[in-house]
């Protein structure tokens, strides 16, 4: 039998009830090796075939660093709003679990970013599924950044910051900032300026094997460094951050008939007026 770990966001309405439902569904069909609905996920030291994430996209993102280190597939059940990453909504819990147990789901590999920088605590490395954001800590003041791509000086930026995202992350913060939507099966890096002062500062998509370095030009503020929405440090004048496509992938479990463009159309409301004569 499969070994399954249940994780999620206890603050989401319905998560506790979903745990009890999962216990009934999986009874005699799979082993539940642990349950943790806290934000500080800890996995047991035993084989795990699947992590079920109850919550939404944010709940899945909070688990990325832990899941990647153990190379465990993850399936998301959406109790939130958008749910671009999840396999099903809460009312479909029973059907998606039956599909998994019958082998009617597939693992989809998603590219990851690898962030490296130095801080007072030493060298820091993090993984991100969606994005790495360098942002001004004070929105009333601009931040000045410079960007190098594979050691080649690229551009300088004055504004609220910069988003470096994967194709998966193109539906997240980058989209809100005017970035392009990209099929998650396309491996690429997206650079999206945040509220730039110059109209020449435009979103750009670059090759996946490039290394992006970002440094601070001038100013007395240290921009925040955010990894999938989590604060991980500050960008200081004397240092740079490095972001590149990781050699690792996140394995997301979805129904075999999952279609990205259908999901995109539904979530963005395009399907409401879409008709083919």
**Tally of CB atoms within 10 A around 121:** 7
| CA–CA gap between residue 244 and residue 236 (Å, rounded) | 20
Q: Which pLDDT band, with edges at 50, 70 and 90, does 271 fall under?
A: low
Residue 200's nearest CA partner among 163, 239, 171, 157 is 157
Distances (CA, A) of 149 to 123, 187, 192: 21, 16, 14
- Return d(Cα 62, Cα 71) in angstroms, integer: 15
Instruction: Give the model's pLDDT for residue 259.
Output: 78
Which of the following is catalytic: 11, 40, 57, 131? Answer: 57
Q: What is the pLDDT of residues 207-225, one digit of tens each?
A: 999 999 999 987 668 999 9
Looking at 25-39, 50-64, 73-87, 123-137, which range is the least confident one? 73-87
Report the percent of the chain where pLDDT is more than 70: 95
pLDDT the model gives residue 272: 61
228 is catalytic: no
pTM equals: 0.90
What is the tally of helices (H) and strands (E) in the chain? 5, 17
Amino acid 82: pLDDT: 66
Name which residue leads in pLDDT, 150 or 275.
Answer: 150
Q: What 3 state SS string does 218-256 have? A: CCCCCCEEEECCEEEEECCCCCEEEEEEEEEEEEEEEEC
Q: Place 95 in a pLDDT band, splitting at 50, 70 and 90.
A: very high
Percent of the chain's residues with pLDDT above 90: 62
pLDDT score of 255 more than 70: yes
- What is the distance between the alpha carbons of residues 91 and 59, in angstroms, rounded to a whole number? 18
Distance of CA 68 to the CA centre of its chain: 12
Mean pLDDT of the chain: 90
Structural domains of the chain, ranges and CATH numbers in brackets = 2-103 (3.40.50.10330), 112-247 (2.60.200.30)
Q: Which residue has the higher pLDDT, 248 or 137?
A: 248
């Amino acid at each position: 039998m499969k070994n399954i770990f249940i994780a999620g966001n206890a603050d989401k309405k319905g998560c506790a009830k979903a745990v009890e439902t999962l216990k009934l569904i999986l009874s005699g069909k799979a082993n539940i090796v642990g349950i943790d609905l806290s934000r500080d996920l800890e996995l047991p030291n035993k084989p795990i075939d699947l992590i079920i994430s109850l919550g939404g996209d944010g709940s899945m993102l909070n688990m990325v660093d832990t899941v990647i280190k153990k190379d465990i597939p993850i399936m998301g059940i959406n109790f939130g709003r958008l749910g671009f990453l999840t396999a099903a909504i809460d009312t479909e819990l029973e059907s998606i679990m039956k599909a998994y147990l019958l082998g009617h789901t597939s693992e989809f590999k998603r590219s990851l970013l690898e962030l490296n920088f130095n801080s007072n605590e030493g060298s820091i490395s993090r993984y991100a599924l969606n994005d790495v954001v360098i942002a001004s800590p004070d929105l009333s003041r601009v931040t000045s950044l410079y960007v190098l791509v594979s050691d080649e000086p690229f551009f300088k930026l004055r504004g609220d910051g910069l988003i470096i995202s994967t194709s998966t992350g193109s539906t997240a913060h980058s989209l809100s900032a005017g970035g392009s939507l990209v099929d998650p099966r396309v491996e690429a890096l997206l650079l999206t300026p945040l509220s730039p002062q110059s109209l020449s500062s435009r979103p750009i998509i670059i090759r996946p094997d490039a290394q992006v370095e970002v440094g601070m030009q001038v100013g007395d503020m240290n921009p925040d460094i955010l990894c999938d929405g989590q604060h991980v440090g500050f960008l200081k004048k004397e240092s740079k951050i490095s972001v590149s496509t990781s050699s690792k992938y996140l394995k997301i479990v979805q129904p075999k008939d999952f279609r990205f463009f259908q999901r995109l159309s539904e979530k963005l409301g395009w399907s409401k007026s879409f008709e083919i004569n």
